[in-house]
Structure 1
Amino acid sequence: MLSQPIPLVEALNPVRMRPVGRAVCGFPSPAEEYAEPALSLDELCGVGRPSLFILIASGESMRDLGIYDGDYLVVDKAKEARSGSIVVARIGADFTVKRYVSTDGLPVLIPANPAYPTIKVGEFEDAEIWGVVLWNLHRLDDV
């Protein structure tokens, strides 16, 4: 389950930060260092587009993809879901996050936790693919 969508609005004065370098998540590379351009999270996430919303993840069904309870999800309602996309689906009045796969033209919503069932959406159910998850934001410390 997810909370109700929150529109994502552009900051009046977005802060630009220059990355200080790269942090290797494997073995260090002898590649030559170069300066990264300054960026703002507004620009990086596409903030300001009217189709972007933030939802707060609730539950554990997507934990094996690194989406945890309380994470902030940046969702684009205008982006069309492709097979394999992580989507927000509305089923009745509830929102859920799952991996989307189309089977015979009908959506199948697959969790990333084996404790949860796959959802096969029937053609007569009140359901829709509401948006595509672009970003997942969560804290990595306990502050």
Structure 2
Amino acid sequence: MNETRPKSLTRGGRREGAGRKPGLGPWGEKTIPVRIPLSQKQNVLAFLHRQKTQPAASLPAEAWFPAIEPVRLSVPLFSNRIAAGFPSPADDYIENRLDLNQLLIRNPAATFFLKVKGHSMKNAGIFDGDTIVVDRSIDIRHHHIVVAAVDGELTVKRLSMEQGKTRLVAENPEFPDIELKEGQELVIWGVVTNVIHPVK
């Protein structure tokens, strides 16, 4: 009986044209592997999603960001609320310690800070010279205070979305609201979560 031997099959080695093509991922560019804490996975994914879905533009030049690995700084947290009148001896008891990074920043990867210029939001407790904490990972909703750019002009206002109209509302009657008109470009950079201002 005549036997026909199959042609030898080669395995392994690099095949021309095989593998993922560079630039074919969702970002259209090369990627690198990065180790992140498991607890921060969803935060990082949410940040990347917002980076991809927002209009292509850079953050304002005056924005700055939290430290990547901030040193833990704990200060005393007293158990009693402080009175504006005479002090109470009970206030000497320290209940806990507080880290301001944890208090002010919910999502470091999606947070930036801005200095406020102007008085249009004073009735919301935001004053000229204050530092605001802005979180880009929060889903934007009606009545949020937001950092927005209208036709490239940066502003801090309360977002109103009612009856099919979008407005940026000032919290000071001396300043007009901004009602978005057809053809205007609105980029919302994030939601204001905290305000830092000095006591004068």
Aligned to 1:102: 161
Question: Alignment partner for residue 187 of structure 2, among 128, 132, 136?
Answer: 128
Q: Which moved more, 1:105-114 or 1:59-68?
A: 105-114
Q: What TM-score do you get using the length of structure 2 for normalisation?
A: 0.59
Q: Deviations over 1:59-110 (max 9, x none)?
A: 0101111211110000001112222111111112221111111124442111
Partner of residue 18 from structure 1, selected from 76, 80, 96? 76
Query: Counterpart of 2:177?
Result: 118
> Residue 140 of structure 1 aligns with which residue?
199
CA distance in 1, matches of 2:188, 2:106: 21
Dislocated runs of 4+, deviation >3 Å: none
Q: Distance in 1 between matches of 2:172 and 2:82?
A: 29
How far apart, CA to CA, are the structure 2 residues paired with 1:41 and 1:87?
A: 22
- Root-mean-square deviation (Å): 2.6
Between the two proteins, what is the percent identity of the paired residues? 31
Q: Which runs of 5+ in 1 are unaligned?
A: 26-33
Q: Distance in 1 between matches of 2:183 and 2:127?
A: 31
Contact 2:107 2:137 in 1 (8 A): no
Secondary structure (helix, strand or coil) at the match of 2:195 reads strand
Q: What stretches of structure 2 of length at least 5 have no aligned partner? A: 1-59, 85-92
Contact preservation (8 Å) 1:8, 1:48 = no
Kept after mapping to 1: 8 A contact 2:66/2:112? yes
Q: Tell which structure's C-alpha radius of gyration is larger.
A: 2
Secondary structure in structure 2 of the residue aligned to 1:42? helix
Residue 121 of structure 1 and its aligned partner are, at CA, apart by 1.4
Residue aligning to 1:92:
151
Compare relative contact order (CA 8 Å, sep 6+) and give the higher one, 1 or 2.
1
Higher share in strand: 1
CA contact (8 A) 1:87 1:97 kept: yes
Structure showing the higher helix proportion among its residues: 2
Choose which of 118, 121, 124 in structure 2 pairs with 1:65: 124
- Cα deviation, 1:30-61, whole Å, max 9, x if unaligned, reads xxxx8643111001112662110000000010
SS of residue in 2 equivalent to 1:6: coil
